[in-house]
Amino acid sequence: MGWIKSGDRTLSGPEFNARALRAAGALESLGVRKGDGVALYLRNELAYFEASFGVGMLGAYSIPVNWHYTADEAEYLLRDSGVKVLLIHADLLPPIAHAIPEGVAVVMVETPPEIIVAYGLADVAPPAGATLWRNLLANAAPLAREPEPAPSSIIYTSGTTGRPKGVKRPTPTEAQIAAANAMLGWSYGYADHLQGRRSPEEITTAIIGPVYHAAPNAHSAFSIRIGANVVVTPRFDPEGLLRLIEQERITHLNMVPIMFKRLLQLPNEVKQRYDLSSLQYVTHAAAPCPLEVKRAMIAWWGPVINEYYGSTEMGNVTNLSSEEWLKHPGSVGRVMPGVSVRVITETGEDAAPGVVGEVIGGPLTGLNFTYQNAPEKRASMERYGLVTPGDIGFFDADGFLYLCDRKNDMIISGGANIYPAEIEGELLKLPGVADCAVFGVPDDEFGESVMAVVQPAPGADLTADGLRAALRKTLTGYKVPRQIDFADSLPREDSGKIFKRKLREPYWAGRERAI
């Protein structure tokens, strides 16, 4: 087994497994049973992983929480998920303490030094009488029985209704486990290691994205599970990543395009300072990557840049090497083994090569997810036995998939999914707002940023700064529109729905993204 490290702490594989078994015992002592949920309101550090693996050993669900959430957002997730226990870093508790539902056991995790330094935090001491994870773990007996098969984490992902939906999967069958392992192996460049041609201990990877997001969550858990060496970083830092690659001889990475952009913005002397020759397989997903950014990364790091496409619901379904991308620029790859992907017309037929349609996909072993407390939304996602992620695109004659647009208007900013309906709902609550539309506009750094057009009520005196200040009381900062314009009226379709296409067109004119 490989090792896992965070800050100055390093655990061997057996040491990590022992702590996960103790974590399982500690959580069981709090009443966690098979099928229950445990919320992990934690940043990237060892406590997150030992707790997550411990939860899985009980056959329970770990539920990563976006620690940027406002109290309102946190309360919704904690109530909707029905968690029994909340693990939370000490400095994150005060802003949401009043929003924690009654009956949820709160366990405080002391914020580790690497997190304090990375975020410039004060060292917040837990209040007297708090249940501390450190003490709970020290006093717990390890799980004495055979661990339960671990279900997947419940990842909350939003939809057009604005409120997040928890993607929940039952404990997988052996066939589904094998299919998922193959899919993740293809995605992360681990296929040879899983098939015995190379040892997983030859892999050294780093967790550089927040583990509450689906892609870093899956990548980190899978890397630990197969026995790779894993370096956990508190947050992404461009030069810090280059230094880490050289120091730890990193071989594999899972990234998002905003990271590429920030790396490319470093001065040339910084880029040339570090030895990156250990890199073997770097993959990216989660957001569109501008052509010039990808070309520049391939030119700098060499043909180690790969790409995959997928969604939380359908899994990862395509894969693309540097060589393939250079021949098919803009593509997200060809269909992986073990999955099915179709581009369908409005009548459900397969679209001809080059013809745009709705992208649907999923594993050949069948779909095995639901939405927490929302079976009707789950039903609406299915198309002909596959899942629609809300994208439209086309296959070329060589079988490479291209994405043209997102059917559900989702905004992807720096790899984070932002859903206009949620922001529109909060805007419409504000005095003086008669109507509004929220959509994504081009952003050179983040790919897209949030734009709002607001129709004031007669006589209302609204300002962009005033609206943003009001929204920050209920929305996480990155959801607050960077730009707010005002209009006397908003264009509408015959059905009454706001015609966002007309609002977006001027901003995307001449850009690669379709409207």
**Tens digit of pLDDT for each residue in 224-263?**
999 999 999 999 999 999 999 999 999 999 999 889 989 9
Of 164, 253, 271, 151, the C-alpha closest to 209 is 253
| 395 plus 419 within the same structural domain | no
463 Rama sector, left if φ>0, alpha if ψ -120 to 50, beta otherwise: beta
* pLDDT, average across residues 178-192: 93
* Domain termination residue (choose one: 408, 425, 458): 408
Q: What is the pLDDT of residues 387-402, one digit of tens each?
A: 998 888 899 999 999 9
**Residue 1 pLDDT:** 78
**Residue 405 pLDDT:** 63
Helix 46-57 and helix 214-226: axis angle, to 10°? 70
**Residue 493 pLDDT:** 57
**Residue 417 pLDDT:** 75
| 386 plus 397 within the same structural domain | yes
DSSP code of residue 106: E
pLDDT band, very low/low/confident/very high, at 494 (cuts 50, 70, 90): very low
Is residue 394 assigned to a domain?
yes
- CATH number assigned to the domain comprising residue 194: 3.40.50.12780
Are the CB atoms for 287 and 225 separated by under 8 Å?
A: no
Are the CB atoms for 83 and 65 separated by under 8 Å?
A: no
- CATH number assigned to the domain comprising residue 440: 3.30.300.30
**Residue 161 pLDDT:** 44
| 360 plus 462 within the same structural domain | no
| 373 plus 463 within the same structural domain | no
| 130 plus 269 within the same structural domain | no
Count of CB atoms within 10 A of residue 269's CB?
A: 7
Q: Which of 121-135, 175-189, 324-338, 400-414 has the lowest mean pLDDT?
A: 400-414
* pLDDT, average across residues 201-216: 94
Does position 127 have pLDDT exceeding 90, yes or no? no
Q: Which residue has the higher pLDDT, 489 or 353?
A: 353
Tokens at 496, concatenated? 């009454």
Is residue 168 assigned to a domain?
no
Q: What is the pLDDT of residues 276-321, one digit of tens each?
A: 999 999 999 987 787 888 999 999 999 999 999 999 889 999 999 9
**Residue 52 pLDDT:** 98
| 424 plus 327 within the same structural domain | no
- CA-to-CA dists, residue 184 to 4, 190, 309, 460, angstroms: 19, 8, 12, 53
Is residue 354 assigned to a domain?
yes
* Domain termination residue (choose one: 154, 185, 204): 154
- CATH number assigned to the domain comprising residue 107: 3.40.50.980
Burial class (CB in 10 A: 0-12, 13-18, 19+), 469: exposed
In 209-366, which residue ranges form alpha helices assigned H by DSSP? 214-226, 238-248, 257-264, 268-271, 291-301, 322-327
| 66 plus 134 within the same structural domain | yes
Q: What is the pLDDT of residues 329-375, one digit of tens each?
A: 999 999 999 999 999 998 999 999 999 899 999 998 887 889 998 88
Q: Which of 12-26, 371-385, 446-460 has the lowest mean pLDDT?
A: 371-385
Query: What H or E segment, with its residue span, contains residue 266?
Result: none
Query: What is the number of domains present in the chain?
Result: 3
Alpha-carbon distance of 79 to 71, in angstroms, equals 12
**Residue 499 pLDDT:** 75
Alpha-carbon distance of 53 to 62, in angstroms, equals 8
**Residue 495 pLDDT:** 39
* Domain termination residue (choose one: 374, 408, 442): 408
Is residue 514 assigned to a domain?
no
| 194 plus 118 within the same structural domain | no
Longest distance between any two alpha carbons in the chain, whole Å: 72
Domain that holds residue 281: 174-408
| 389 plus 420 within the same structural domain | no
Does position 264 have pLDDT exceeding 80, yes or no? yes
Is residue 160 assigned to a domain?
no
| 433 plus 497 within the same structural domain | yes
Q: Which residue has the tokens 């994205």?
A: 209
| 229 plus 309 within the same structural domain | yes
| 350 plus 440 within the same structural domain | no
Query: What H or E segment, with its residue span, contains residue 68?
Result: none
